[in-house]
Amino acid sequence: MSDGDAEPRTPAEPTLAPASGTPSINCVNVHKAYRLAGRDVPALRGVDLSIERPGFYAIMGHSGSGKSTLLHLLAALDKPDQGEVVVAGKAVHALSEHDATLFRRREIGIVFQQFNLIPTLTAKENVELPGMLGGEPQAWLTARSMELLGRLGLAERAGHRPEALSGGEQQRVAIARSLLFSPKVLFADEPTGNLDSSTSAKLWSLLADLAREQAMLVLMVTHEPAAAVNCEKIFVLHDGRVTSEILTEGLDAAGVASRYQQSARTA
Ligand code: ADP
Ligand code: MG
Protein backbone atom coordinates (compact mmCIF):
# COMPACT_ATOMS: atom_id res chain seq x y z
CA MET A 1 0.00 0.00 0.00
CA SER A 2 1.38 3.39 -0.97
CA ASP A 3 1.38 6.35 1.41
CA GLY A 4 -1.45 7.87 -0.61
CA ASP A 5 -3.76 5.00 0.39
CA ALA A 6 -3.09 5.32 4.11
CA GLU A 7 -6.17 6.03 6.21
CA PRO A 8 -5.98 9.58 7.58
CA ARG A 9 -5.75 9.43 11.35
CA THR A 10 -8.67 11.08 13.13
CA PRO A 11 -7.35 14.03 15.14
CA ALA A 12 -9.17 12.74 18.22
CA GLU A 13 -6.80 9.77 18.51
CA PRO A 14 -3.35 9.82 20.09
CA THR A 15 -0.65 7.61 18.58
CA LEU A 16 -0.83 5.30 21.57
CA ALA A 17 -3.92 4.36 23.53
CA PRO A 18 -4.60 6.35 26.72
CA ALA A 19 -3.22 5.06 30.00
CA SER A 20 -4.39 1.49 30.41
CA GLY A 21 -3.59 0.82 34.07
CA THR A 22 -5.93 0.23 36.97
CA PRO A 23 -6.70 2.80 39.69
CA SER A 24 -4.73 0.99 42.38
CA ILE A 25 -1.63 1.35 44.57
CA ASN A 26 0.15 -1.30 46.61
CA CYS A 27 3.25 -0.91 48.75
CA VAL A 28 4.70 -3.84 50.67
CA ASN A 29 7.44 -3.32 53.25
CA VAL A 30 9.00 -0.37 51.45
CA HIS A 31 12.33 0.91 52.79
CA LYS A 32 14.36 3.90 51.63
CA ALA A 33 17.39 5.62 53.14
CA TYR A 34 19.38 8.58 51.86
CA ARG A 35 23.17 8.55 51.98
CA LEU A 36 24.35 11.76 53.58
CA ALA A 37 27.96 12.51 54.54
CA GLY A 38 28.75 8.77 54.62
CA ARG A 39 25.76 8.00 56.83
CA ASP A 40 22.37 6.40 56.02
CA VAL A 41 19.42 8.64 56.85
CA PRO A 42 16.36 6.38 56.94
CA ALA A 43 13.30 8.02 55.35
CA LEU A 44 10.94 5.04 54.95
CA ARG A 45 11.11 2.07 57.33
CA GLY A 46 8.65 -0.50 56.05
CA VAL A 47 5.67 1.21 54.44
CA ASP A 48 2.60 -0.94 53.78
CA LEU A 49 -0.19 0.79 51.91
CA SER A 50 -2.99 -0.53 49.76
CA ILE A 51 -5.63 1.33 47.75
CA GLU A 52 -7.75 -0.73 45.40
CA ARG A 53 -10.45 1.70 44.31
CA PRO A 54 -10.66 5.07 42.56
CA GLY A 55 -11.25 8.04 44.84
CA PHE A 56 -9.52 10.93 46.58
CA TYR A 57 -7.03 9.92 49.30
CA ALA A 58 -4.53 11.78 51.48
CA ILE A 59 -1.19 11.07 53.09
CA MET A 60 -0.66 13.17 56.23
CA GLY A 61 2.38 13.34 58.43
CA HIS A 62 4.64 15.89 60.08
CA SER A 63 7.59 17.41 58.26
CA GLY A 64 10.28 14.79 57.66
CA SER A 65 7.97 11.80 58.12
CA GLY A 66 8.74 10.59 54.59
CA LYS A 67 5.72 11.83 52.60
CA SER A 68 7.64 13.21 49.62
CA THR A 69 10.00 10.25 49.60
CA LEU A 70 7.04 7.88 49.39
CA LEU A 71 5.44 9.89 46.59
CA HIS A 72 8.72 9.88 44.66
CA LEU A 73 8.86 6.07 44.85
CA LEU A 74 5.20 5.72 43.82
CA ALA A 75 5.75 8.04 40.85
CA ALA A 76 8.87 6.17 39.66
CA LEU A 77 11.10 9.17 40.36
CA ASP A 78 13.27 7.07 42.67
CA LYS A 79 13.76 3.43 43.69
CA PRO A 80 13.17 1.79 47.06
CA ASP A 81 16.09 0.02 48.78
CA GLN A 82 13.73 -2.82 49.61
CA GLY A 83 10.09 -3.74 49.10
CA GLU A 84 7.47 -3.70 46.39
CA VAL A 85 5.76 -0.69 44.83
CA VAL A 86 2.93 -1.50 42.43
CA VAL A 87 1.06 1.43 40.85
CA ALA A 88 -1.65 1.19 38.18
CA GLY A 89 -0.79 -2.50 37.84
CA LYS A 90 2.93 -1.87 37.16
CA ALA A 91 5.76 -3.06 39.38
CA VAL A 92 7.33 0.39 39.59
CA HIS A 93 10.29 -0.73 41.74
CA ALA A 94 11.48 -2.97 38.89
CA LEU A 95 11.16 -0.57 35.92
CA SER A 96 14.21 0.30 33.84
CA GLU A 97 15.06 4.00 33.60
CA HIS A 98 13.56 4.13 30.11
CA ASP A 99 10.31 2.42 31.16
CA ALA A 100 10.11 4.62 34.27
CA THR A 101 10.21 7.70 32.02
CA LEU A 102 7.40 6.37 29.84
CA PHE A 103 5.44 5.33 32.95
CA ARG A 104 5.66 8.87 34.35
CA ARG A 105 4.72 10.48 31.06
CA ARG A 106 1.89 8.13 30.05
CA GLU A 107 0.48 6.10 32.93
CA ILE A 108 0.29 8.51 35.87
CA GLY A 109 -0.07 12.21 36.57
CA ILE A 110 2.11 14.17 39.01
CA VAL A 111 1.45 17.62 40.45
CA PHE A 112 3.90 19.42 42.73
CA GLN A 113 3.77 22.40 45.09
CA GLN A 114 5.86 24.36 42.58
CA PHE A 115 3.77 24.28 39.43
CA ASN A 116 6.80 23.46 37.24
CA LEU A 117 5.42 25.17 34.15
CA ILE A 118 7.76 26.25 31.35
CA PRO A 119 7.75 30.09 31.51
CA THR A 120 8.25 30.62 27.77
CA LEU A 121 5.30 28.40 26.75
CA THR A 122 1.61 29.31 26.83
CA ALA A 123 -0.86 27.45 29.05
CA LYS A 124 -1.97 25.38 26.05
CA GLU A 125 1.61 24.53 25.06
CA ASN A 126 2.45 23.57 28.65
CA VAL A 127 -0.49 21.14 28.69
CA GLU A 128 0.64 19.67 25.36
CA LEU A 129 4.28 19.33 26.33
CA PRO A 130 4.27 15.66 27.44
CA GLY A 131 2.59 14.79 24.13
CA MET A 132 5.01 16.89 22.08
CA LEU A 133 7.88 14.99 23.66
CA GLY A 134 6.15 11.76 22.60
CA GLY A 135 5.56 12.98 19.02
CA GLU A 136 1.76 13.05 19.19
CA PRO A 137 -0.09 14.61 16.23
CA GLN A 138 -0.69 18.35 16.77
CA ALA A 139 -4.38 18.05 15.83
CA TRP A 140 -4.95 15.59 18.68
CA LEU A 141 -2.87 17.68 21.09
CA THR A 142 -4.86 20.83 20.31
CA ALA A 143 -8.21 19.08 20.73
CA ARG A 144 -7.15 17.39 23.97
CA SER A 145 -5.45 20.40 25.57
CA MET A 146 -8.43 22.67 24.81
CA GLU A 147 -10.81 20.06 26.18
CA LEU A 148 -8.82 19.88 29.44
CA LEU A 149 -8.34 23.64 29.76
CA GLY A 150 -12.07 24.05 29.23
CA ARG A 151 -12.87 21.47 31.91
CA LEU A 152 -10.59 23.27 34.38
CA GLY A 153 -12.15 26.67 33.62
CA LEU A 154 -9.11 27.96 31.71
CA ALA A 155 -10.35 28.12 28.11
CA GLU A 156 -9.87 31.90 28.06
CA ARG A 157 -6.35 31.57 29.44
CA ALA A 158 -5.04 29.10 26.83
CA GLY A 159 -2.77 31.67 25.15
CA HIS A 160 -1.35 33.13 28.37
CA ARG A 161 2.15 32.46 29.65
CA PRO A 162 2.48 31.41 33.31
CA GLU A 163 3.56 34.92 34.42
CA ALA A 164 0.16 36.20 33.28
CA LEU A 165 -1.72 33.61 35.36
CA SER A 166 -2.59 33.56 39.06
CA GLY A 167 -1.13 30.82 41.28
CA GLY A 168 -4.41 28.92 41.27
CA GLU A 169 -4.60 29.13 37.48
CA GLN A 170 -1.00 27.94 37.13
CA GLN A 171 -1.74 24.93 39.31
CA ARG A 172 -4.83 24.12 37.23
CA VAL A 173 -2.66 24.25 34.09
CA ALA A 174 -0.29 21.80 35.79
CA ILE A 175 -3.25 19.53 36.61
CA ALA A 176 -4.48 19.74 33.00
CA ARG A 177 -0.98 18.78 31.83
CA SER A 178 -0.96 15.80 34.19
CA LEU A 179 -4.28 14.58 32.74
CA LEU A 180 -3.19 14.68 29.08
CA PHE A 181 -3.14 10.89 28.65
CA SER A 182 -6.08 10.17 30.99
CA PRO A 183 -4.06 8.53 33.77
CA LYS A 184 -5.84 6.24 36.23
CA VAL A 185 -3.58 7.42 39.09
CA LEU A 186 -2.72 11.04 39.96
CA PHE A 187 -0.22 12.09 42.64
CA ALA A 188 -0.13 15.54 44.21
CA ASP A 189 2.57 16.63 46.70
CA GLU A 190 1.29 19.60 48.77
CA PRO A 191 -0.44 20.99 45.67
CA THR A 192 -1.80 24.05 47.49
CA GLY A 193 1.34 24.87 49.48
CA ASN A 194 1.80 28.09 47.49
CA LEU A 195 -1.87 29.10 47.31
CA ASP A 196 -4.15 31.17 49.57
CA SER A 197 -6.85 29.40 51.54
CA SER A 198 -9.84 30.14 49.33
CA THR A 199 -7.95 29.13 46.16
CA SER A 200 -6.79 26.00 48.00
CA ALA A 201 -10.33 25.01 48.95
CA LYS A 202 -11.42 25.28 45.30
CA LEU A 203 -8.50 23.14 44.20
CA TRP A 204 -9.28 20.36 46.71
CA SER A 205 -12.87 20.13 45.55
CA LEU A 206 -11.67 20.16 41.93
CA LEU A 207 -9.39 17.18 42.66
CA ALA A 208 -12.29 15.37 44.36
CA ASP A 209 -14.55 16.06 41.35
CA LEU A 210 -11.90 14.85 38.89
CA ALA A 211 -11.36 11.64 40.85
CA ARG A 212 -15.11 10.95 40.69
CA GLU A 213 -15.65 11.96 37.04
CA GLN A 214 -12.62 10.14 35.66
CA ALA A 215 -12.80 7.13 38.01
CA MET A 216 -9.26 8.08 38.94
CA LEU A 217 -7.26 7.38 42.10
CA VAL A 218 -5.93 10.72 43.38
CA LEU A 219 -3.39 10.53 46.22
CA MET A 220 -2.48 13.88 47.77
CA VAL A 221 0.23 14.61 50.31
CA THR A 222 -0.84 17.34 52.71
CA HIS A 223 -0.37 18.50 56.27
CA GLU A 224 -3.63 20.47 56.30
CA PRO A 225 -6.68 18.84 57.93
CA ALA A 226 -8.85 21.24 55.89
CA ALA A 227 -7.48 19.58 52.73
CA ALA A 228 -7.73 16.03 53.99
CA VAL A 229 -11.40 16.41 54.87
CA ASN A 230 -12.09 16.36 51.12
CA CYS A 231 -10.53 12.89 50.92
CA GLU A 232 -12.34 9.68 51.81
CA LYS A 233 -9.40 8.14 53.62
CA ILE A 234 -6.21 9.49 55.22
CA PHE A 235 -3.04 7.46 55.62
CA VAL A 236 -0.99 8.76 58.53
CA LEU A 237 2.75 8.52 58.00
CA HIS A 238 4.88 8.60 61.12
CA ASP A 239 8.67 8.11 61.12
CA GLY A 240 8.63 6.37 57.75
CA ARG A 241 5.71 4.01 58.38
CA VAL A 242 1.95 4.15 57.81
CA THR A 243 0.79 3.97 61.41
CA SER A 244 -2.94 4.49 60.95
CA GLU A 245 -5.76 5.10 58.52
CA ILE A 246 -8.54 7.61 59.18
CA LEU A 247 -11.94 7.37 57.46
CA THR A 248 -13.19 10.93 57.09
CA GLU A 249 -16.89 10.21 56.65
CA GLY A 250 -18.85 12.42 59.04
CA LEU A 251 -15.75 14.38 60.14
CA ASP A 252 -15.18 18.11 59.61
CA ALA A 253 -11.70 19.70 59.49
CA ALA A 254 -11.57 19.98 63.30
CA GLY A 255 -12.59 16.32 63.61
CA VAL A 256 -9.86 15.29 61.16
CA ALA A 257 -7.30 17.40 63.06
CA SER A 258 -8.21 15.79 66.35
CA ARG A 259 -8.16 12.23 64.95
CA TYR A 260 -4.81 13.01 63.31
CA GLN A 261 -3.28 14.36 66.53
CA GLN A 262 -4.62 11.36 68.42
CA SER A 263 -3.05 8.93 65.92
CA ALA A 264 0.28 10.79 66.02
CA ARG A 265 0.30 10.52 69.86
CA THR A 266 -0.43 6.80 69.93
CA ALA A 267 2.02 5.93 67.10
P1 ADP B 1 8.30 14.98 54.18
O2 ADP B 1 7.94 15.14 52.76
O3 ADP B 1 7.32 14.19 54.98
O4 ADP B 1 8.59 16.29 54.87
P5 ADP B 1 10.73 13.73 53.17
O6 ADP B 1 10.27 12.52 52.46
O7 ADP B 1 11.08 14.91 52.35
O8 ADP B 1 9.64 14.12 54.28
O9 ADP B 1 12.00 13.37 54.07
C10 ADP B 1 12.07 12.24 54.93
C11 ADP B 1 13.45 12.16 55.60
O12 ADP B 1 14.45 11.95 54.63
C13 ADP B 1 13.81 13.43 56.34
O14 ADP B 1 14.57 13.06 57.47
C15 ADP B 1 14.67 14.18 55.34
O16 ADP B 1 15.59 15.01 55.98
C17 ADP B 1 15.39 13.03 54.64
N18 ADP B 1 15.70 13.36 53.23
C19 ADP B 1 14.81 13.66 52.26
N20 ADP B 1 15.43 13.87 51.07
C21 ADP B 1 16.76 13.70 51.32
C22 ADP B 1 17.94 13.79 50.51
N23 ADP B 1 17.87 14.06 49.20
N24 ADP B 1 19.13 13.55 51.12
C25 ADP B 1 19.21 13.25 52.43
N26 ADP B 1 18.15 13.14 53.24
C27 ADP B 1 16.93 13.38 52.70
MG1 MG C 1 7.56 16.86 51.53
Do the beta carbons of residue 115 and residue 173 sit within 8 Å?
A: yes
| pLDDT at position 1 over 60 | no
DSSP H or E segment with residue 188? strand 185-189
Closest ligand to residue 44's CA? 1
Inform me whether the pLDDT recorded for 14 exceeds 70. no
Pocket of ligand 1 contains residue 66 by CB under 6 Å: yes
**What residues pair up with 245 in beta bridges, in sequence order?**
235
**Would the CB of 41 count as within 6 Å of ligand 1?**
yes
Residue 180 one-letter amino acid:
L
Give residue 16's pLDDT band: very low, low, confident or very high (50, 70, 90).
low
Q: Is any atom of ligand 1 closer than 6 Å to the C-beta of 91?
A: no
Helix (H/G/I), strand (E/B), else coil: 254:
helix
Mutation probe of ligand 1 site: the residue of 69, 72, 219 with most atoms within 8 A of C-beta: 69
Taking the C-alpha atoms of residue 89 and residue 254, their distance in angstroms, rounded to an integer, is: 36
Mean pLDDT of 131-146: 93
Residue type, 163: E
Cβ atoms of residues 246 and 263 within 8 Å: yes
Specify the CATH architecture of the domain 19-107+183-267: 3-Layer(aba) Sandwich (3.40)
> What is the reported pLDDT for 15?
60
Question: Which pLDDT does position 7 carry in this prediction?
Answer: 52
Domain with CATH 3.40.50.300 in the chain: 19-107+183-267
Q: At what angle do helices 167-178 and 123-133 cross, to 10 degrees?
A: 20
